[in-house]
Amino acid sequence: MSWMRSVFFCSALVMAVVAYLLHRHTVVDERLQLPMTHTHFMLPISRIIKKMRGASVNVDGPTFRNSLKPHFMLRSFCLGKDPPQELESVFKQGGVEVMRFKRVKRVQNPTTTLVYIHGGGYVIGSPEMVAGPIHRLEHGTDSQLFFIRYRLAPEHLFPTAVDDCVAMVKYIMDHSDQLGVDKHNVQIFGDSAGGMLATLVAIELLKNQEQYPLKAVHAIYPWYYILNDMPSAKKFSIDPSDVLDQTDLARFMSFYLLGDTSCMQSKVTNEHLTQKVWEKYLLKTKEFKLKNFPQPVTSHFKSSKDKSSDCAARLESMLLDPRNNIIFHEKDQLQRLNKTDFRLYSCEVDILRDDSYLMASMLDALEVKYNHVNIESCYHGSVHSTNAVGGEQLRQELIRSMRR
């Protein structure tokens, strides 16, 4: 038995030394107030896993999703995760589904109906993955909550996710009597790519406000902009919480728009734009009179002899589509948000922080009413983290807003 104790002791000592050395090279923003288990254990190991995963960029969707499982397990262990909640299907058609929590007793005559659209770069995620933490929002608002399962890339390309979410929110409101929904008290919300989807659903439905009167829209650290990188994307290129980085964004964009990762590297190096896309962007900044907002890092354009020009040409029409870049919407489309209570939530330590500030600046120029809350001790994915200070602050802010 003594030799077993010696082996165990030596193994523990080696692991401790490795963890210490890794931690010395792990940059952590103190504003996040992350648990020590996260900063000392999860971050160093997770970054090694991500580097190993990033070495193989030419993978398909299922392989990529499977490669994320160790990362999600580590995050759940270190940052906390609510117990899973059982869901039931309300409506299903193909790969699209409306779901809700399965329980014997429900809130009687709920005044508010919440519809949640999950994030994940249009590539990963599901209602089941986020049901635990999102359950807190339903409980805290005494509402009934529906989840939308939309089809993911790369199996289903843009604009499938948008069309699926619009169709399912319409289904909920068109069947309000059957589902016990007060059409005039429906609020939709989503985080990251789900924040963009929630915004796009609102813009579409509010064309017919009489039939689809949305009470409120909550966009949580939304992914509004997939041209070149905003300053926050550069500043937090090594994400302090290790949830999202520039390589992830590039992979998600390439999967979503093209179905593969062939243009991933072009996005990482900001060589995925044509002159036409960039000029259209500059025109829009003038149209919206955008001055006091974070200016994106200057893009690079390549000659036709460069391989990156092929990606730019393939992506051009999709990058100009307002359903991918919020800034390319027409003024009258964004002004529809005046018909609802539109709310933005951003995290100070987040690669997508400036996307919210861009949207806020555009709405200011159009005199659209909105509310924007930026949480200091918050990072991307905080709404799902139970042991992080920023996550609890964000959830409490959401509950207060949803109860109004």
The residues, ordered by sequence, that sit 6+ positions from 363 with a Cβ below 8 Å of its Cβ are: 334, 337, 342, 370
Compute the distance between CA of residue 220 and CA of residue 196 in angstroms, rounded to an integer.
Answer: 9
> Per-residue pLDDT tens for 370-379?
999 999 888 8
pLDDT at 132: 84
> Per-residue pLDDT tens for 335-394?
999 999 999 999 988 899 999 999 999 999 999 999 999 998 888 888 887 666 778 889
Q: What angle do CA 289, 293, 295 make, to 5 degrees?
A: 100
Two tokens, residue 308? 């990156």
Compute the distance between CA of residue 404 and CA of residue 401 in angstroms, rounded to an integer.
Answer: 5
Q: Radius of gyration over alpha carbons of the chain, in Å?
A: 22
User: Mean pLDDT throughout 305-327?
Assistant: 85
Are the beta carbons of 356 and 385 closer than 8 angstroms?
Answer: no
The residue with greater pLDDT, 132 or 192, is 192
Two tokens, residue 53? 């995963």
**What domains sit in the chain, N to C, each tagged with a CATH number?**
30-404 (3.40.50.1820)
Alpha carbon 99 to chain centroid distance?
20
Compute the distance between CA of residue 224 and CA of residue 271 in angstroms, rounded to an integer.
Answer: 19
Compute the distance between CA of residue 8 and CA of residue 12 in angstroms, rounded to an integer.
Answer: 6
The residues, ordered by sequence, that sit 6+ positions from 270 with a Cβ below 8 Å of its Cβ are: 228, 229, 297, 299, 300
pLDDT at 303: 46
